[in-house]
Chains A and B, each alone.
Chain A
Amino acid sequence: MGKRTIIPFGPQHPVLPEPIHLDLVIEDESVLEAIPSIGFIHRGLEKLVEKNEWPEMVYVIERVCGICSFGHGWGYCKSVEGNLGAEIPPRAEYLRTVWHELSRIHSHLLWLGLLADGFGFESLFMHSWRIRETILNIFEETAGGRVIFSVCKVGGVRKDISDEKLKDIVKTLDGIRKETAELTNVFLEDVSVRSRLSGVGALTKQDAEDLCAVGPVARASGILQDVRLDGHGAYPYLDFSPCIETEGDCYARCKVRIRELFQSMDLIEEAVSKIPAGDIEIKLKGNPSGEFVARMEQPRGEAYYYSKGNGSKYLERMRVRTPTNANIPALVKTLQGCDLADVPMLVLTIDPCISCTER
């Protein structure tokens, strides 16, 4: 029996691009308990609904998180549109789906890079981010921004993508498909990477259910849970089934995200082949007066957007509940009993987005 020590992890830590603090109670080399404390980047942006009119609020909500920015904007728009009872033109829904899936590819590639950096595989990190730049170029060509591109608005989308451009996007994605396969093969096949990920931090299906894990963390533990199945956007018209793994360890979480990477490319290709012609936005009348909850499948999992209107130009209440928030209990559970050296891996494989969590 060794002596118990508390090691602080974060908020400023080399593997963390964002601040989260964990107090790790360790004995010898293994972690007995992890006590998370958050709140380093709480801004309180939900309160801004009282100062911004509801069509303007979308700019604030897009800045909940810079990585899944488009999805947040879409979630908010969906919530207010539901409040107003608005029907969105199908072309707008398809375009939103394309942008959202592109965001997922960019987010997963970013995460793969950070994971590689976390276990010290620097060149893999560089290659992931090199491929990711292709997606950012597509964003810039179609919407004008690299990470936060404010193209979603309540009632539709702000910009149309021409059919030629859509075909170009598919061509570009086909171009990077081979490179991405080469990259992800290293994650899945390389002996040293596997030994770092396999069997580390396993989360059982029961635990994942009890702790309400969401997104790839839940899917890696064998839970069929994906909001895209509920049929929003263009997903009901696309051939979609969630990627499920059963092991629940870091390797499974990595594998789920890699499979989703290619699935997103397929979804974009299918959406482009089926996209209808027509309007990209509708004119909205009146102000939101009811309550509405919208759900979105973000790259990190399920997110809720609640809006409550009172008939005025300002919403009464806006609430966002983000996937990392839901995954922190699962993280704390997997940290119990792991080796100190595996802590960065475990923290990274839930794909923490602290900016989302604290808003």
Chain B
Amino acid sequence: MSYVTKSPWIIHYDGSSCNGCDIEVLACLTPMYDAERFGIINTGNPKHADIFLVTGSVNEQNISVVKQIYEQMPEPKIVVAVGICATSGGIFRECYNVKGGVDTVIPVDVYVPGCAARPEAIIDGIVKGLDVLAEKHANMPKSSVSASDAAEEKVKDEDMAIEVRYYGKTAEELDEDIADERVSDAQSVKYYSSSDKDADDSGDKNNGKEEV
């Protein structure tokens, strides 16, 4: 699974947690636990993220926010519910404004228990999530695989025989174009770079021929 050797980036959203899990998520990235040494970065942009960490349960007000962040993330993506509130509502389950765990709104792949979830548990949950991420990547339909990934796979499959296309042209067409360009470039260079009269004359002659 080559995909998981790349560093996943996470995005974190606080559903309606008490902060306990949020600060533990941040503690994972700071020197004591230091998940950043593996290149795991807490990004603020959903479009850069692979893993969506949600702490706290969902309520009417933030359902749309959670959904929007989830929808903006590119495939493949996984959701990790951090803490007991994100899993089921936890101690706040019976509150009038709590709708329940995050899985009532978006699909959740890994549940991390704890109140507050310990950094070790959160890291463990993310590592579990990486397997799911790799699996999702493998099962993705080919059409939705990104261009760079497709190119990479082709390199492996056909032993470096890649069809390069530049502005929609194949390699052969491109070679012809380049050859043509070289001819015209040589002419133009001759025309513009020369300050002596001969070149100017030849240019004039050409123009004259065209007119004829």
CA distance A51 to B96 in the complex (A): 12
Which residue of chain B has the shortest Cβ distance to A106 in the bound complex? B23
A7 vs chain B, min Cβ distance (A): 16
Is B56 interfacial (CB-CB < 8 Å)?
A: yes
Residues of A within 8 A of B69 (CB): 12
Residues of A within 8 A of B31 (CB): 126-127, 129-130, 133
**Contact of B19 with A43 in the complex, beta carbons under 8 Å:** no
**Contact of B96 with A44 in the complex, beta carbons under 8 Å:** yes
Is A158 interfacial (CB-CB < 8 Å)?
A: no
Is A14 interfacial (CB-CB < 8 Å)?
A: yes
CA distance A48 to B31 in the complex (A): 38
Residues of B within 8 A of A39 (CB): 61
Per-position binary interface string of chain B over residues 42-62, scored 1 when its CB falls under 8 Å from any chain A CB and 0 otherwise: 011110000000001101011
Contact with A133, one of B15, B27, B57 (Cβ below 8 angstroms): B27
**Contact of A41 with B17 in the complex, beta carbons under 8 Å:** yes
Which residue of chain A has the shortest Cβ distance to B32 in the bound complex? A133
Is B191 interfacial (CB-CB < 8 Å)?
A: no
Is A337 interfacial (CB-CB < 8 Å)?
A: no
Residues of A within 8 A of B32 (CB): 129-130, 133
Is A64 interfacial (CB-CB < 8 Å)?
A: yes
Tell me which of B2-10, B87-95, B137-145, B182-190 binds A.
B87-95
**Contact of A146 with B19 in the complex, beta carbons under 8 Å:** no
- CB within 8 Å of B: which A269-301 residues: none
Which residue of chain A has the shortest Cβ distance to B94 in the bound complex? A51
By secondary structure, the A interface counts as: loop
Per-position binary interface string of chain B over residues 1-35, scored 1 when its CB falls under 8 Å from any chain A CB and 0 otherwise: 00000000000111111111111101100111000
CA distance A146 to B57 in the complex (A): 21
Contact with A355, one of B19, B30, B46, B96 (Cβ below 8 angstroms): B19
Contact with B18, one of A63, A113, A130 (Cβ below 8 angstroms): A63
Given known pairs A19-B62, A45-B95, the reply for A63 and B14 (CB within 8 Å) is no
Residues of A within 8 A of B56 (CB): 41
- CB within 8 Å of B: which A54-80 residues: 59-60, 63-67, 69
**Contact of A66 with B20 in the complex, beta carbons under 8 Å:** yes
**Contact of B14 with A146 in the complex, beta carbons under 8 Å:** no
**Contact of B26 with A41 in the complex, beta carbons under 8 Å:** no
**Contact of B19 with A67 in the complex, beta carbons under 8 Å:** yes
**Contact of B92 with A40 in the complex, beta carbons under 8 Å:** no
Given known pairs A12-B65, A41-B14, A42-B61, the reply for A18 and B95 (CB within 8 Å) is no
CA distance A18 to B12 in the complex (A): 10
Is A110 interfacial (CB-CB < 8 Å)?
A: yes
Is A31 interfacial (CB-CB < 8 Å)?
A: no
Is B98 interfacial (CB-CB < 8 Å)?
A: yes
**Contact of A19 with B14 in the complex, beta carbons under 8 Å:** yes
CA distance A358 to B59 in the complex (A): 12
CA distance A130 to B29 in the complex (A): 10
Given known pairs A12-B13, A67-B19, the reply for A17 and B26 (CB within 8 Å) is yes
Residues of B within 8 A of A69 (CB): 18, 20
Given known pairs A43-B92, A66-B17, the reply for A129 and B44 (CB within 8 Å) is no
Q: Which of B16, B18, B92 has the most CB of A within 10 A?
A: B18
**Contact of B61 with A64 in the complex, beta carbons under 8 Å:** no
Contact with B65, one of A40, A145, A353, A358 (Cβ below 8 angstroms): A40
Residues of A within 8 A of B27 (CB): 129, 133, 136
Residues of B within 8 A of A354 (CB): 14
Residues of A within 8 A of B16 (CB): 40-43, 355, 358
Known: A44-B98, A47-B96, A66-B17. 9 other contacts (CB 8 A): A40-B16, A40-B59, A41-B16, A48-B95, A67-B19, A113-B30, A133-B32, A147-B20, A355-B19
Q: Which residues of B are at the interface with A, using a C-beta cutoff of 8 A? A: 12-24, 26-27, 30-32, 43-46, 56-57, 59, 61-62, 65, 69, 91-92, 94-98, 115-116, 118
| A-B contact list, 19 entries, CB within 8 Å | A15-B44, A17-B14, A17-B26, A18-B22, A19-B13, A19-B65, A40-B16, A40-B61, A43-B95, A44-B95, A48-B92, A63-B18, A63-B92, A66-B18, A66-B21, A110-B23, A129-B27, A130-B32, A147-B20
Q: Which 3 A-B pairs have the closest CB atoms?
A: A66-B20, A14-B44, A129-B30
